[in-house]
Structure 1
Amino acid sequence: MGTEKTPARVVGGWMWRHPRTMGTTAVLTPTGVMVGYQTMLWAAGIAVLMGVSWRLLDAPTFDRFAGRLLRAWWRRWVIYQRQWMRVVASCGLVTSDHRGDQLVPKLVGVRSNWVWDSLHIRMAKGQEPEDYGQALDRLANSFKAHAASMRILKPGKIALDFQRREPFNEMAIPLPAMPESIDAVDLRKLEIGRDEFGRPFHLDLLKRDIHVLLAGETGAGKGSWLWGIQRALAPLIRAGHVRLWVIDPKGGMEFGGGREMFHDFAESDREGLELMRRYVAELEKRKFDLGRQGIRDTTPSRETPLDVLICDELAAMTAYSDRDIRVEFHQLLSKGLTQYRAVGGRIIGATQEPTKDVVPMRGLFPTKIALRVDAASYVDMCLGEGMRDLGAFADKIPAYLAGVAYAKTDGRKEPRRVRAAFSTDDDIAELVAFCTELGNVTPIRPEVKLPDGTVTNPYQVDFEDFEDDEFEEIEQFEGEDDGDEEIA
């Protein structure tokens, strides 16, 4: 009786709850006795100077390896722990037991990155996660956070995430300059925008980011990413080293302005299936041709171009079209995602709902980008299991920040917060004019009608398929000025 709070128990409990502080003290004390405290002060000063220099010269790397740990320690004890009791009491999160003793939720740890703080909380007896969900706005205002969310870590333990800053509010994302020549394009470093540290963000369409999945609700900025990729490829498109196969099921409203520079274009689900058949047939032929020659990999050129398939609104092809279209398109798309990397096949898909029903083959995309999504569950569906726990709060991106996204690439555990540069209508017109000015891109033309019927391929006419007498008929047909369409 009466021994619960003896001095020995209080000191022992404090030492048990702070192992890092006690461990540091246990190491520094004998070291100071052995080498002298003056030497230790000099070493500490040099370490601080090196840390400041590292922070000034390479802030992103410093924050990744050291800054986030120092910031988490500082913010835990100076910002959160100091006022924890007062805040939780004012938000109604303090309970009491049958004896009238107050039960306070315990702050057991803080994790911090450039934008978010994550507070790990052990709830008090008698509480449930919904109690904190109802108090989220009050907690965010108390800690002066832009936004807050709550996650369940395990029974009795939750995480409260507070957004401290919004770097893209003040950061201008300039549209990358369009490369002027083939030599200026590096397929391993296609600049699309900037990350939250202000560094250029690149995609690697040569080795790493061979297929890209974009997920984001209406107005999230998917078009900025898709047009940005095309802009980065402009000289290769103009030279014929890259061919664009574009499916725009919305009647061409998004990409119709660029049809002149596309190798192939579809503006409905039925046309999209036909385009997918032609895309797979082309790469199947190249696969067998190169396989017979013993060639295992290709370099983009006019003979073996990089064939980039862009499908806007994947759901229109995989979920909301007729069953015969869905089944065949799913089969062809899965084949394209698994078999054509070495022969120059690349697929970029965009969707509003990254669910398994809409994108059943989402695991085949090595690079995934989550823009603003409608539900927290969509984050893990797009980026992978556990990505939201690592800080990918795509469901918390404000509506006014179009183009902001979390990117998950192979070989990197943490998602990156990035923003693509916005392309205006004038920028798109400039891109199309640049890519088609030399005439190396076969533009999309309407059907060409010949005297003996309609040409089956409306995109080009191969006159080697005609006999000599058919050439005479064509020349006679071209000479007539009766309003018929001219032969391309």
Structure 2
Amino acid sequence: MTLILKQKRRIRRVEVERAPRLGLIRPTKLGFRVSVRLHDGQTPEDYARVLDKLAHAWKVHSVRLVSWRPGKVTLVATLSDPLDRVSIPVLSDGLLRVRVGLLDTGTPFAIDFRAVPHWLNVGATQSGKSNLANVLIVGLAPQPVALVGFDLKGGVEFTPYQARMSALATERAECAELLADLIGIIKSRMALCRAHRVKNIWHPRLPESARPMPIVVLVDEVAELFLMADPKSEKEEVAAVATRLLRIAQLGRAFGIYLKICGQRVGSDLGPGVTALRAQLTGRICHMVNDDETAKMALGDMDAGALVAARQISPAMPGTAIVIGSEGRWHRMRSVHVTEEQAEAAAAEYAHLTPSWADLTRGAGSAGDVDDSEMDEFTIPDLEDLPV
């Protein structure tokens, strides 16, 4: 009798780290650049997971995966940390564009409101938020733009720069009125664009003489706009502020109104208004934070790797942040150090460029005057119905 044994063979994939097939190594200013050919079955994610191991193996400060194409990835190694010392000058690099610091790639980082109109900047005390505001004041002061401040710390942050600001609100009630005025400005600019049959104020068909001045809105401690000590008496005011701020975030880009919103603690527990607002803020800057929820609010919906990097920011390097801008990819960045005295001097020097708030709002209605039919394509849901 013949016994026939049948053996079932099972094929399974076993993760095995294999030595990379390196291409030509090319020197860069801060290290070197190398292309790597992928083995069969490998993907770019396989290399993204082991970048720290490659940095240790190559004895360099860091390794980044900067690009890929089928069968090949490109890695850039940095020999030392370029953010240890940042000494580049602050530069107004075109209208609504300010070079504010240095990236971990060694290239300058600029906040460009034309490319990314709205920014969210979070960070704990002494993390570098105020310094970044100083940098923006210095960079925007000589430009033909209007600056508007919302300072919920009682005015201590932006009052030194009031000479260059067209309007400054320090209490939530004042903020509500100022936001109403901004909605009115949007309404008047809508009418201007309709009259010239253009979709935004930057359209070349709009005469230069008719083009309105862009407005940059700086908000400090945004959580104070949403906190309620007494829900019964403050709920209406908070809802009005949240709805107006959200509407400006949604409509502002086309009509030359840009936001930079800052906060120490920004979380979904502040209400659905914050979550809805976050979705409109494409640019993200996350300094060192004290809680994971704030980091998640800034970066969690963009890139998981950025969230991990944000938790590793050292308190010994103030001004360091994880940024996501027009590229949609995250980088470490450190802003140039600008003192309050330097920013105050810049505000005073260019105070003559400050347009009056009366001139900016001339011909503009209030938020209550805005006809809903004029904003039908920009309908915003009721904040009560939004998920937290």
TM-score norm. by structure 2 comes to: 0.70
> What residue number does 2:346 align with?
431
> What residue number does 1:210 align with?
117
Q: Match of 1:222, as an amino acid?
A: K
Question: Residue by residue, what CA displacement relative to the aligned partner does 1:128-185 show, whole Å, maximum 9, x if unpaired?
Answer: xxxxxxxxxxxxxxxxxxxxxxxxxxxxxxxxxxxx99826632334415x5xxxxx4
Question: Residue by residue, what CA displacement relative to the aligned partner does 1:323-369 show, whole Å, maximum 9, x if unpaired?
Answer: 22210011101110111211101111001222123323211111111
Q: In the alignment, does 2:147 pair up with 1:244?
A: yes
Could you tell me the percent identity over the aligned residues? 18
Residue 385 of structure 1 and its aligned partner are, at CA, apart by: 3.1
Which residue of 187, 192, 197 corresponds with 2:100?
192
Which residue of 354, 358, 375 corresponds with 2:266?
354
Q: Match of 2:180, as an amino acid?
A: R
> What residue number does 1:335 align with?
247
Q: How many residues align?
A: 317
Q: Match of 2:344, as an amino acid?
A: A
> What residue number does 2:235 align with?
323
SS of the residue 1:416 aligns to: strand
**Residues 283/167 of structure 1: CA separation in 2 closer, same or farther (3 Å cut):** same
Which residue of 282, 295, 298 corresponds with 1:366?
282
Mind listing any 5+ residue stretches in structure 2 that lack a counterpart?
Answer: 1-10, 38-43, 65-77, 203-207, 363-388
Residue 461 of structure 1 and its aligned partner are, at CA, apart by: 12
Question: Residue by residue, what CA displacement relative to the aligned partner does 1:157-216 show, whole Å, maximum 9, x if unpaired?
Answer: xxxxxxx99826632334415x5xxxxx4147520111123210012211x210001111
Residue 74 of structure 1 and its aligned partner are, at CA, apart by: 9.8
Q: In the alignment, does 2:143 pair up with 1:230?
A: no
* d(CA) in 2 for partners of 1:301, 1:227: 31
Q: Match of 1:356, as an amino acid?
A: S
CA contact (8 A) 2:296 2:307 kept: no
* d(CA) in 2 for partners of 1:249, 1:211: 19
Structure ranking higher on relative contact order (CA contacts 8 Å, 6+ apart): 2
* d(CA) in 1 for partners of 2:288, 2:184: 35
> What residue number does 1:170 align with?
84
* d(CA) in 2 for partners of 1:432, 1:78: 46
> What residue number does 1:93 align with?
none
* d(CA) in 2 for partners of 1:400, 1:174: 20
* d(CA) in 1 for partners of 2:52, 2:332: 23
> What residue number does 2:337 align with?
422
CA contact (8 A) 1:380 1:388 kept: no
SS of the residue 1:235 aligns to: coil
* d(CA) in 1 for partners of 2:330, 2:156: 31
* d(CA) in 2 for partners of 1:78, 1:393: 17
> What residue number does 2:221 align with?
313
* d(CA) in 2 for partners of 1:333, 1:312: 13
Which residue of 43, 48, 56 corresponds with 2:28?
56
**Residues 196/274 of structure 1: CA separation in 2 closer, same or farther (3 Å cut):** same
Aligned pairs (5 A) from 1:141-160: none
**Residues 72/198 of structure 1: CA separation in 2 closer, same or farther (3 Å cut):** same
Residue 274 of structure 1 and its aligned partner are, at CA, apart by: 1.3
**Structure 1 runs, 4 residues or longer, greater than 3 Å off:** 15-21, 57-60, 65-80, 299-303, 388-392, 459-462
> What residue number does 2:40 align with?
none
> What residue number does 1:141 align with?
none
Residue 310 of structure 1 and its aligned partner are, at CA, apart by: 1.0
Q: In the alignment, does 2:114 pair up with 1:114?
A: no
TM-score norm. by structure 1 comes to: 0.57
* d(CA) in 2 for partners of 1:441, 1:77: 49
* d(CA) in 2 for partners of 1:421, 1:291: 41
Q: Match of 1:277, as an amino acid?
A: A
**Residues 461/402 of structure 1: CA separation in 2 closer, same or farther (3 Å cut):** closer
Question: Residue by residue, what CA displacement relative to the aligned partner does 1:243-287 show, whole Å, maximum 9, x if unpaired?
Answer: 111110111101100111101111122111111111111122111
**Residues 345/189 of structure 1: CA separation in 2 closer, same or farther (3 Å cut):** closer
* d(CA) in 1 for partners of 2:125, 2:167: 25
Which residue of 182, 197, 203 corresponds with 1:279?
182
* d(CA) in 2 for partners of 1:232, 1:354: 26
Higher strand residue share: 2
Q: In the alignment, does 2:296 pair up with 1:380?
A: yes
Mind listing any 5+ residue stretches in structure 1 that lack a counterpart?
Answer: 1-12, 25-43, 81-111, 117-163, 180-184, 445-456, 463-488
SS of the residue 2:311 aligns to: helix
